[in-house]
Amino acid sequence: MLRKLGIGVMAAAAIVTLSSAPGATAAPAPAPERTAATTLYYDDSQAGEFKSAVAAGAEQWNSTVQNVKLAKAPAGTRAEITVIADDGWPRATLGPVRPGGRATVWFGRQAVNEGYDTTRIASHELGHSLGLPDMKPGPCSSLMSGSTAGVSCTNPVPNATERAQVEANYGGGFAGLAPMDGRIVVDAP
C-alpha cells in the first residue's frame, strides 16, 4: 500500500512540476457561452395611429435587455405579438410569449384620450407580453405601475427589477422556461 501511495505522490508531483515549469502557460478558462437573444416579432398592421409609439416602446426594451429582442415582423412573417388599436383601455396578454406563441396588445385610445403617454403605454403593454404583471400602485419610475403613476408620468423605461425579470424570463436554463400565463391584463385605473 505504501508503494502505491508513493507512486501516486510522485505522479502528482510530476504534474505540478510540469504545470509550473518556466515558460509553461496554463490554458485559459473557456469563456462562458453566450446564447443568442430570443427574437419576438410584433405585427403593428392594426395599430392605427400608434405604430410609431409601438416602435418606440419596443426600442425601450431592445436598448435595456439582452436576452430578448422585439422586431417588427417582415411581410409574410408570423408575429408572436399582434398590436391592435381600439377604443377601450390598453390591455395585453400576459406572457412571457415564446417564439411561435401568440400574444395580443390592445392599444386603447381611452387612456390616450385621458392624457397618458403613448410610448409609455406601448412599452408597458409590451412588458406584459414579456411576462411582467402590473405593479399597482406604483411610482413613475416603475414602468409596470401603469396608470397609477398618473398622466404626468411619461417614463417608458423599465426599471432594474423589471429588466431583471425579463432577462430571467428569456435567459438560458430553467429560468428561461417559465410558461406563458395567458391572462388578459387590463390597465384601467
Output the DSSP codes for 47-112. Answer: -GGGHHHHHHHHHHHHTT-SSEEEEEPPTTPPPSEEEEEESS--EEE-S---TT--EEEEEEHHHH
For range 146-160, the mean pLDDT: 97
Q: Among 75, 71, 61, which residue's Cα sits nearest to residue 40?
A: 71
Residue keyed to cell 502557460: 25
SS percent in the chain: helix, strand, coil, step 5 = 40, 15, 45
pLDDT score, position 181 = 72
Q: In what order do the strands lie in the sheet with 184-186?
A: 68-72, 38-46, 81-86, 103-108, 91-93, 184-186
Q: pLDDT (tens digit, 9 = 90+) per residue, 100-117?
A: 999 999 999 999 999 999
Active-site annotation holder among 59, 80, 114, 125: 125
Confirm if 166 and 68 have CB atoms less than 8 A apart.
yes
**Other beta carbons within 10 Å of 54:** 27
The reply to whether 125 belongs to the active site is: yes
pLDDT score, position 184 = 79
Q: pLDDT (tens digit, 9 = 90+) per residue, 5-63?
A: 344 433 333 333 333 444 444 455 444 444 688 999 999 999 999 999 999 999 999 99
Q: pLDDT (tens digit, 9 = 90+) per residue, 65-96?
A: 999 999 999 988 999 999 999 999 999 999 99
pLDDT score, position 35 = 60
